[in-house]
Amino acid sequence: MKRTSRAISLLAATAALFVLVGCAAMKDGSLGTVLSGGQAGSSPDEGTIAAGLKEALRVGTERTVDHTSRLDGFLANELIRIAMPEELESMAGLLRTVGLGGQVDEMEVAMNRAAEKASGEAIDVFVGAIREMTIGDVYAVWKGPDDAATEYFRGKTSDALRFRFRPIVTEKMEEVGLVRVYNSLTDRYAELPLTTRPALDLEDYVTEKTLGGLFTVLASEEKRIREDPTARTTDLLRTVFGAPSE
């Protein structure tokens, strides 16, 4: 009986981390069935707990990717908005003084648009990491700090995401006009007195900022769900925590 109680507590703690605020309850009820062990009042075994946890993680990561990959997912979020690279700050400042501020702004918008388009590639990688979770991983996430789940994903997926993102970022930089704007700005800058063309791997910069933004959103949502009972607004969260219905 003690083991079953422990297992249920584990499921409650871990599943809650990844079901984001405002996420609609699953229409087909499959996740609720898994979490309840298949029948009302029954006690889930370890296999059912693992299945329920992985399903909850899948729902949460899909929601995070949806948030970052939509229009303005990066640009309108001050936490993850991609700013002008530090290496280009002096160039950007000088170009603004000679009337090219609009093109500088255009470059910043284009970097964020490329990140939004690339971040949609993350979901398949996250699904793979969820599929590979062991019972040890589950306990580490459950017992860890506010960003334990995010750090699990960072450790398991960063290399794969970087590999997936780099060619997508390259493609999207061309698609949104970032390469054109960047080349135009650096050309104009190099024409000014006492200046030299900056050396920067812009593809690498946007790729790393896209990764950082994705994990920032994951960490923020994880911490909020852990700490804020008012954030547990879905049917699933009320069921898991036993909160009274509104």
Distance CA 141, CA 52 (A): 15
The contacts found for 151-158 with CB under 8 angstroms, 24 or more apart, are 153/61, 153/126, 153/129, 153/215, 153/218, 154/215, 156/129, 156/132, 157/122, 157/125, 157/126, 157/128, 157/129, 158/211
Alpha helix positions (H), the chain: 2-18, 30-35, 46-69, 89-97, 101-119, 122-131, 135-143, 148-175, 178-191, 202-227, 235-241
The DSSP symbol for 246 reads -
Q: What is the pLDDT of residues 97-155, one digit of tens each?
A: 888 888 889 989 999 999 999 898 888 888 888 888 888 787 777 677 878 888 988 99
Whether 148 and 16 have beta carbons less than 8 Å apart is answered as no
Q: What is the mean pLDDT of the chain?
A: 74
Distance CA 133, CA 202 (A): 34
End-to-end alpha-carbon separation of the chain, Å? 31
Tracing tokens 């979901």 back to the chain, one arrives at 123
Pick from 155, 154, 153, 133: nearest CA to 49: 133
Chain centroid, CA 106 distance in Å: 24
Q: What is the pLDDT of residues 50-67, one digit of tens each?
A: 555 566 677 778 888 999
* pLDDT > 90: percent of the chain: 22
pTM: 0.71
Q: What is the pLDDT of residues 82-93, one digit of tens each?
A: 998 888 888 889
Predicted local confidence at residue 95, as pLDDT:
87
Q: What is the pLDDT of residues 173-216, one digit of tens each?
A: 888 888 888 888 888 888 888 888 888 888 999 999 999 999 99
- The angle at the Cα of 156, spanning 154 to 157, to the nearest 5 degrees, equals 70
Sign of CA dihedral 231, 236, 242, 244: positive
